[in-house]
Structure 1
Amino acid sequence: DDILLRSATSLAAAIRNGEVKSVDLVSAYIKRIQEVQPIINAVVEERFEEALREAEAADQLVASATMSTRQLSQEKPLLGVPFTAKNSIAIKGMRQDAGSLLHRGRRAVEDAPAVARMRAAGAIPLALTNVPELCAWDDAHNLLYGTTRNPHDTRRGPGGSSGGEGSLLASAGSLIGVGTDIGGSVRTPAAYCGIFGHKPTAGVVPNTGLLPDVGANMAKYNCVGPMTRFSEDLPLLMKVLAGDSADQLRLDDEVDMKQLKVFVSDTEGSLYFSRVTAEARQAVLKVVRHFKEEVGSDVRRLHVPELQYAMVIWYKVYAAEAPECLGLSGVNVLVDFLRTLVGIGRYTLAYLVHCKTAAAFRFSHREKAEAHLASVEALRQRLEKTLGDDGVLILPAAMSTAAYHNQDLLFNDSPGMMALFSILQVPATACPVVKSAKGLPLAVQVVAKRGNDRLCLAVAKQIEQRFGGWIQP
């Protein structure tokens, strides 16, 4: 169905103009979900009947002409457009268990602010998508809903923790999605599945109404962000999600690519965890060469030695500031590991590995933790001074292509290039570039100074124009 190949931006305009019926659009995505769900297992709950009723109401509003096209564009820019969200974001009446047995049966009593803003803009919730247990891994497997598969190779994972979103979007089973990112959870699945994912400047989009509650300290790193197949939908979604804060982002300001400073990282990867593969490095070089030779941007090398310790920095901050194992003080890693091995466990192995890793980095004294956080702040100031208001940093979105299922239990390399920028609270966008020799997506990550999300999104659009954007399975 050709309607599945159009952006949310163009379809929203077509609905307002009466050229496309919301009912037809929602019906097309329902049909597509039913086709791909048996293959990828990305959806954990749907609301198809309710969505169709809301689509009919949207069509009636347009037909009534009680609001002009201009009014609809300003007040309901996503009227009649379906969207999906990960199963950690509250959608009233729907499950909100984050794939955890401990929260089985829990339902959201109200919309998360991000969802409320999507609804207020006229968007229609269609389905909830799968996550790793308590969103604490870079794949999408849990004991409630099983394993989500990557549409490019179903033997591999889609990344996480917004893995169901990444898989469904890449399969054209969703038009636009809402995810969360505290260490790469929007960007990893975007990179692995061949779509766009944006982690906004921290604090711009409200991050309440989420499960798990990571606590006030860690919440400042947790961002709600858009996931899309088309780059032009990112600014539109950011305007909706950011609400009044969107003005400070100046998303409509034009970015002159020729005046843009493009920094490229020469760091090889995350010490102790992994190194960047040759193919991932080549994807970056292709993009940088385009900006230098075809766009005429000022390209410079930037050495960020802290990238080698990205996961160490992330886990140290996490261990110092997060509640005990995401608030589950009853976790005994050894006992629960043995229970899991004999089939009576309450947690996935991935979650237990995560807890054990976090415990290994825990500071024994608060003074040491505070000193470490001070060093992170110094790094942020240095990076933002270098980038300024006209610079971006381009580096691999992930160390390699998507891993096979369970491979990351022994060697988890995906967050190494992403986690640091969550702790720094800067905006970062994952952009699909090319396919690997095995036909898997390779992506770059575009980073800017806080508040300069528009630079990331403008570069994403430029990359899409040159390299084709969404990598279809």
Structure 2
Amino acid sequence: MSELVLASAARQLEALRAGRVSVAELAEAHIRQIERLNPVLNAIVDFDAERVRAQARVLDAADRADGAMGLLHGLPVTIKSSISTAGYLCEIGSTINRGDVAKEDAEVVSRLRAAGALILGTTNCPEFLMAYETDNLLHGRTNNPWDLERSPGGSSGGESAAIAACMSAAGLGSDSGGSVRLPAHFTGICSLKPTPGRVPGRGHLPPCVGPFSILGAVGPMARTIEDVTLLFETLAGHDALDPASAPVPLLKPKLADLRERTIGYFEDDGLVPMTAETRRAIQDSVCALKDAGFRVETFRPRTLELLRELWWKFFVSCGATFYQPTIHGQESTLSPIFREFLGIARAEGDLSGADLLSGWAQLDLVRSRTLREMERYPVLLCPVASIPAFRHGERRWTVEGREVAYLDAVRHTQWFNVLAAPAAVVPVGRSAEGLPIGVQVVARPYEDEVALAVAGVLDEAFGYRHPPMAMKQTTS
């Protein structure tokens, strides 16, 4: 029974529907995996085994009573602790919010519950989500299941570690600068940053408002693209109370039609070097797509650095400004990782009203220029980062004989937050140390299903592998 936790979400759901396992039995297997691994990973920060068992009993009883089963009936999931989940801690990794419990569900959590998902708990994140490493003074750091001395990334690092280690079948993170994609890359799982609004963002803390209504999105994370797609299709849909949400129906792209489009790929942005294994992952992906009948050509948008400059202005400068009322008078309680973010923002100087207005106008113009370039290349293939998972606290690396700084090494996700484009990550390669390396598949806004379909081809060719720690002591 314990081996079932190693299976994909889709296979776990098949076992539930076929009656080979009850919700309670599947929940118990995940409880054992969490109790075994969470003490060393520190991925799940609000977990109560009895609460999980109580949910499982309710779901099993409902199934026996009327036979009604939602699409995710009984599936054990986790949720990033910045997404309001009624009755669970929602502290966003900050001692300022110590003990805060969500009073109501975010819209996406309501949809998870309506689909029958079983909530295992909420997962760790860096303070106020402003880091690519998951560490805080409230719950401590989260470790990568491939190497405990390395980070699972951020800000959805707790979520990615839980899923990669098979403590959770799937879950939800959020992404304003790579926060579901970099952790997926670091831990060897799959994820999707959707077009903002396609998966409801209402109920995320902090709210996805102002520039973050363009940058930010709640996104599904799982071990396979099939599972990510299942979560996306279950949770996507118009939210009438969210101004960023558009009534866009689900697409059903056919691979035969997608093969008529040209995929553009690039190994780097011309500014920041990449590890040899990262380049190899892109090259291997190109070969796999060509073998599957796709047209793939070298192409790099000319607007990448403009997009990154805008991301910096809105995420870094505006992000720091947004938090000033919250942290005023409490600076001494802030974690080193959040102080680091504030230091980066302050080094840029204050953002004037004229700067903000000019940047906002430029945002639309640069997005339009990029989308024009993507008319010929409606799908892009590129790296997720210059490097695989870094060691806790590392901030500089030597790559191809050059020094690469912290925020430069992870710039590759930021472009597509500014573009408001969907971007999926799928594991493809391995570093010299055996660490996962993912690639990023990007589509045009509102064509999330296209990104997922192409990523699915790569997932079949490469895909998730279990970290050794996930498989030890799994046989009952």
Question: 2: CA distance between counterparts of 1:319 and 1:356?
Answer: 10
Question: 2: CA distance between counterparts of 1:37 and 1:364?
Answer: 41
- Cα distance change, pair 87–227 in 1 and its aligned pair in 2 (3 A): same
Comparing 31-40 with 204-213, which one deviates more in the overlay?
204-213
1:282-336 CA-partner distances (Å, limit 9, x unpaired): 21111012212x122111222224334654331212356446252446458xx95
Which of 300, 303, 320 matches 2:300?
A: 303
1:91-240 to structure 2, matched below 5 A, reads 91-213=85-207, 215-240=209-234
1:55-78 CA-partner distances (Å, limit 9, x unpaired): 1222223333x246xxx3xxx100
- Cα distance change, pair 127–379 in 1 and its aligned pair in 2 (3 A): same
Segments of 5+ residues of structure 1 without an aligned counterpart are 337-344
For residue 401 of structure 1, what is the aligned residue in structure 2?
Answer: 388
2:310 is the counterpart of 1:313: yes
- Cα distance change, pair 81–435 in 1 and its aligned pair in 2 (3 A): same
1:6-36 CA-partner distances (Å, limit 9, x unpaired): 2222322332332321111111111001111
Question: 2: CA distance between counterparts of 1:471 and 1:435?
Answer: 13
Deviation of 1:363 after TM superposition, in Å, equals 5.6
Comparing 239-248 with 276-285, which one deviates more in the overlay?
239-248
Query: Do the aligned partners of 1:190 and 1:197 also contact (CA within 8 Å) in 2?
Result: yes
Query: Do the aligned partners of 2:198 and 2:248 also contact (CA within 8 Å) in 1?
Result: no
* Residue identity opposite 1:191 in structure 2: H
Query: Do the aligned partners of 1:315 and 1:361 also contact (CA within 8 Å) in 2?
Result: no
- Cα distance change, pair 249–196 in 1 and its aligned pair in 2 (3 A): farther
- Cα distance change, pair 26–247 in 1 and its aligned pair in 2 (3 A): farther
Deviation of 1:191 after TM superposition, in Å, equals 0.4
For residue 243 of structure 1, what is the aligned residue in structure 2?
Answer: 237
Comparing 237-246 with 164-173, which one deviates more in the overlay?
237-246
Query: Do the aligned partners of 2:214 and 2:417 also contact (CA within 8 Å) in 1?
Result: no
Question: 1: CA distance between counterparts of 2:463 and 2:102?
Answer: 38
Cα RMSD over matched residues?
2.4
2:414 is the counterpart of 1:391: no
Query: Do the aligned partners of 1:429 and 1:447 also contact (CA within 8 Å) in 2?
Result: yes
* Residue identity opposite 1:303 in structure 2: R
Deviation of 1:471 after TM superposition, in Å, equals 5.2
Question: 1: CA distance between counterparts of 2:137 and 2:322?
Answer: 18
SS in 2 for 1:174: coil
* Residue identity opposite 1:253 in structure 2: P
Q: TM-score, normalised by structure 2?
A: 0.88
1:77-120 CA-partner distances (Å, limit 9, x unpaired): 00111100111111111111111011111110111111111001
* Residue identity opposite 2:252 in structure 1: D
Comparing 50-59 with 207-216, which one deviates more in the overlay?
207-216
Query: Do the aligned partners of 2:277 and 2:429 also contact (CA within 8 Å) in 1?
Result: no
Question: 2: CA distance between counterparts of 1:174 and 1:286?
Answer: 29
SS in 2 for 1:220: helix
Question: 2: CA distance between counterparts of 1:330 and 1:33?
Answer: 33
Query: Do the aligned partners of 2:262 and 2:376 also contact (CA within 8 Å) in 1?
Result: no
2:282 is the counterpart of 1:284: yes
1:434-445 to structure 2, matched below 5 A, reads 434-445=429-440
Query: Do the aligned partners of 1:262 and 1:300 also contact (CA within 8 Å) in 2?
Result: yes
- Cα distance change, pair 372–181 in 1 and its aligned pair in 2 (3 A): same
Query: Do the aligned partners of 2:367 and 2:418 also contact (CA within 8 Å) in 1?
Result: no
Query: Do the aligned partners of 1:319 and 1:361 also contact (CA within 8 Å) in 2?
Result: no
2:4 is the counterpart of 1:14: no
For residue 35 of structure 1, what is the aligned residue in structure 2?
Answer: 36
Question: 2: CA distance between counterparts of 1:224 and 1:310?
Answer: 21
Deviation of 1:414 after TM superposition, in Å, equals 4.3
For residue 259 of structure 1, what is the aligned residue in structure 2?
Answer: 260
2:416 is the counterpart of 1:424: no
Deviation of 1:233 after TM superposition, in Å, equals 0.9
Query: Do the aligned partners of 1:463 and 1:469 also contact (CA within 8 Å) in 2?
Result: no
For residue 341 of structure 1, what is the aligned residue in structure 2?
Answer: none
Query: Do the aligned partners of 1:441 and 1:471 also contact (CA within 8 Å) in 2?
Result: no
What number of residue pairs does the alignment pair up? 452
Question: 1: CA distance between counterparts of 2:102 and 2:351?
Answer: 37
Deviation of 1:160 after TM superposition, in Å, equals 0.3
* Residue identity opposite 2:105 in structure 1: D
For residue 441 of structure 2, what is the aligned residue in structure 1?
Answer: 446
* Residue identity opposite 1:287 in structure 2: S
Question: 2: CA distance between counterparts of 1:249 and 1:434?
Answer: 34
* Residue identity opposite 2:289 in structure 1: F
Which of 454, 458, 463 matches 1:463?
A: 458
Comparing 397-406 with 276-285, which one deviates more in the overlay?
276-285
Segments of 5+ residues of structure 2 without an aligned counterpart are 240-245, 397-404, 469-476
SS in 2 for 1:33: helix
For residue 26 of structure 1, what is the aligned residue in structure 2?
Answer: 27
Query: Do the aligned partners of 2:201 and 2:208 also contact (CA within 8 Å) in 1?
Result: no
- Cα distance change, pair 115–47 in 1 and its aligned pair in 2 (3 A): farther
Q: TM-score, normalised by structure 1?
A: 0.89
Deviation of 1:356 after TM superposition, in Å, equals 2.1
SS in 2 for 1:434: strand
- Cα distance change, pair 52–408 in 1 and its aligned pair in 2 (3 A): same
* Residue identity opposite 1:164 in structure 2: G
Question: 1: CA distance between counterparts of 2:466 and 2:32?
Answer: 21
SS in 2 for 1:446: strand
Question: 2: CA distance between counterparts of 1:471 and 1:384?
Answer: 37
1:378-401 CA-partner distances (Å, limit 9, x unpaired): 232233333349831000011111
Identity %: 33
Deviation of 1:249 after TM superposition, in Å, equals 4.9
